[in-house]
Amino acid sequence: MAALEDILSPARTACKIAGGSKKRLFETITQLVCDDRTDLVYEDVLDHLIEREKLGSTALGDGIAIPHCRAASCTAPLGALLSLSEPIPFDAPDDRPVDLLFVLLVPEEAHQEHLDILAEVARMFGDHEFCKALRAATDRRALYELAMTGPD
């Protein structure tokens, strides 16, 4: 499985951004990812994220979501970490709005790796103190560094 430091970069980390609607957030996420990875096709990534979300919400509850998808233009797993300035509705199982997101893109053929990374990210975000620290981060660098150190 890819380690978090192998799939997340400071350029794909955003702190206290405006969320707006879920669609607008997916557009922002896609732009963040594609600005850093110019080999990715914006429309491909956006379409796959939206299509995956239509299958069911990627919100876990407790204000956390892990939007994820396979994308043809993605050649290796990559992630993005975002905190929002204001939580947005995300159809979470507990009906709480989301303010922390880890986005995962994987190549179309990376089935097991996709599941393994999702499980690890979900485990990390299941740690209440870790999430509390992420929410307290005031800039992108601090958010990224907290993610790299992970939960205690």
96: DSSP letter: P
- Spatial distance between the Cα atoms of 100 and 50, rounded to a whole number of angstroms: 18
- Spatial distance between the Cα atoms of 139 and 93, rounded to a whole number of angstroms: 29
pLDDT tens readout for residues 76-127: 889 999 999 999 999 999 999 999 999 999 887 766 666 777 788 888 999 9
pLDDT tens readout for residues 11-67: 999 999 998 899 999 999 999 999 999 999 999 999 999 999 999 999 999 999 999
Look up the domain containing 107 and give its range. Answer: 4-149
- How many domains is the chain built from? 1
Helical packing angle, 111-125 and 128-136, nearest 10°: 80
In the numeric block, the tokens 């043809």 are attached to 72
145's tokens: 């560094």
Q: Which positions are annotated as active-site residues? A: 68
- Looking up residue 47, the CATH number of its domain turns out to be 3.40.930.10
Phi, psi at 19, each rounded to 5°: -95, -50
Task: State pTM to two decimals.
Answer: 0.92
